[in-house]
Amino acid sequence: MSLLDFSDEQLERYSRHLVLKEIGGAGQLALLKSKVLVIGAGGLGSPLLMYLAAAGVGTIGIIDDDRVDISNLQRQIIHTTDRIGAAKVDSAEISLSAINPDVRVVKYSDRLTADNAAQIIATYDLVADGCDNFATRLLVSDTCVALGITLVSAALGPFEAHLATFKPHKGDELPCYRCYMPELPGDDQNRTCADTGIIGAVAGVAGSMQALEVVKEITGAGDSLAGKFLIFDALSMRSRLIKLPKDPACPSCGKSVGHV
Amino acid sequence: MSFVITITVNGDEKRISEGQTIADYIIGLGFDPTKVAVERNREIAPKSTFNTQVLSAGDTLEIVHFIGGGNNA
C-alpha cells in the first residue's frame, strides 16, 4: 500500500498527519495497518480510544465487561446519557464509528483472565492498558512479555497519572511492568475511583498522553517512553520523567527467565 | 559510633543515620515495600536491590505509591 492507495477522503481526513515529517504518508499507512488492543473503556480508555480512532488506527480491540452508569459520564466521555445501561464496548463502538468509519472495532465484553489473555492479545501489534486493577495489569504485562508485544500503560489516581511504555523484547536493558511493580501491593489493590474520586480532566490528560505514545510507537515519531516513567501531578501541574531500569531479577523479563 | 548524613526525601531534607539500605529506611518510615516504588536520584530503584542499595549523603529520594486505576467503575 502506498500514498496512491489513499482515497480522496482519507487524504483530507489525515491531512494534518500527512504534512508532519514525523508522521507523513508512511506513518499514516502504519497507523491504518496497525492493530491496537485497549484494556478498559473507562476513564483512560475514553480519550485513548477516541484519539486512536481519529488518528486512523486500522483495528481497535476493546475489552470491557462493564455497562454504562450515570456516574461514569463525569469523565468517560466516549459514553453518552442515552446509552446508560448499554455495554461499554457497544457504546464505545458507536462513538468510534461516528468519529471514523475507517476503523474496524473488535469487541470483547469479558474480563481478561489467565485463560483468554494470550489468545486475545496475540492477535494485536500493541496493547494499551487502562484497566482498573493491579492484578489485570500484571496479567497484561506478563502476557505481552511472553508474546513480545509492546505495552503502553497508564494509571490514574485522583490527581495524578503514571505513564510508561514496556517493550523488553526490543532491548536487553528495557524493563517490563513487573520491573516496576514485581507483585500485587496488598490491600491497596482494590482502590478505584468509586472510593477515591477523580477530576474528569485528569483522566482526559492521561488517556490523551497514552494515545500520543501509542501513535509514536506505531509511527516511530520522537523518543519512545520505554525505559522511562512519567509522573503527572495535577494539583501542582508538575510532571517528572524519570528512568525506569530493567530489574535483572525480574520474575517476568529478567535474565533468569526462560521464554519460549 | 554512627554518623549522620543528609538526604532529600519527597522534597524535604532529612538527617538519617549512615549505613541504611533503601529497605531499612522506608520500613523505618512505616512504608510497606510492596506498596511503593522508590526513586533514587531520578531513577526507579529495582525492588530486588532494596536490601543492597545503601543510601549516600546527598541522595534524593521520592517515594511513589503504586496507582492502578483506569477510573472505570
Q: Residue A75 contacts by C-beta under 8 Å, 6 or more apart in sequence?
A: A43, A46, A198, A199, A200, A201, A203, A204, B71
Residue A260 pLDDT grade (very low, low, confident, very high; cuts 50, 70, 90): very low
At A204, which amino acid appears? G
Interchain proximity B67–A189, CB inside 8 Å:
no
What are the residues facing A165 on neighbouring strands? A152, A226
pLDDT higher than 60, residue A124 = yes
Cell of A139: 496479567
Taking an 8 Å cut-off on Cβ atoms, the answer to whether A189 and B70 are in contact is no
Mean of per-residue pLDDT scores for chain A: 94
Cβ neighbors of A126 (< 8 A, separation 6 or more) are A34, A35, A36, A37, A149, A150, A151, A152, A214, A217, A218
The verdict on a CB contact (< 8 Å) between A193 and B71 is: yes
* Confidence category of residue A42, pLDDT binned at 50, 70, 90: very high
Among the partner-chain residues B44, B48, B73, the one whose CB lies closest to the CB of A180 is: B44
CATH fold for domain A35-243: Rossmann fold (3.40.50)
- Provide, rounded to the nearest whole percent, the portion of chain A with pLDDT above 90: 90
Which range (A53-57, A183-187, A226-230, B64-68) has the least confidence?
Answer: A183-187
Q: Give yes or no for a contact between A44 and A154, defined as CB atoms under 8 angstroms apart.
A: yes
* Separation of first and last alpha carbons in chain A: 33
Nearest to B72 among A42, A240, A248 (CB): A42
CB contact under 8 A, A42 and B65: no
Q: Who's near A233: CB < 8 A, 6+ residues apart?
A: A159, A160, A239
Q: Who wins on pLDDT, A229 or A256?
A: A229
Alpha-carbon torsion (A61, B65, A203, A228), positive or negative: negative
Average the pLDDT over B25-37 and give the result. 94
Look up cell 472495532; give the residue. A105
Predicted-complex ipTM score? 0.90
Alpha helices in chain A (DSSP H): 8-13, 15-18, 24-33, 45-55, 88-99, 117-121, 134-147, 177-180, 193-196, 200-219
- Mean pLDDT score, A97-121: 97
Pair A96, A53: CB distance under 8 Å: yes
Spatial distance between the Cα atoms of A124 and A127, rounded to a whole number of angstroms: 7
Interface test with A, best of B38, B42, B72 (most A CBs within 10 A): B72
Q: Give the mean model confidence (pLDDT) for residues A29-50.
A: 97
Sorted by where each begins, the domain ranges of chain A are 1-33, 35-243
pLDDT band with cut points at 50, 70 and 90 for residue A189 = low
Contacts of A188 in chain B (CB under 8 A): 35, 65-66
Rg of chain A taking only CA atoms, in angstroms: 18
Q: What is the mean pLDDT of residues A83-110?
A: 97
The per-residue pLDDT for B1 is 56
pLDDT digits (tens, 9 = 90+) for A16-38: 999 999 999 999 999 999 999 99
pTM of the model: 0.94
Per-chain mean pLDDT for chain B: 93
The C-alpha atoms of residue B48 and residue B37 are separated, in whole angstroms, by 11
- From the list A141, A166, A147, A143, the residue with the least C-alpha distance to A217 is A166
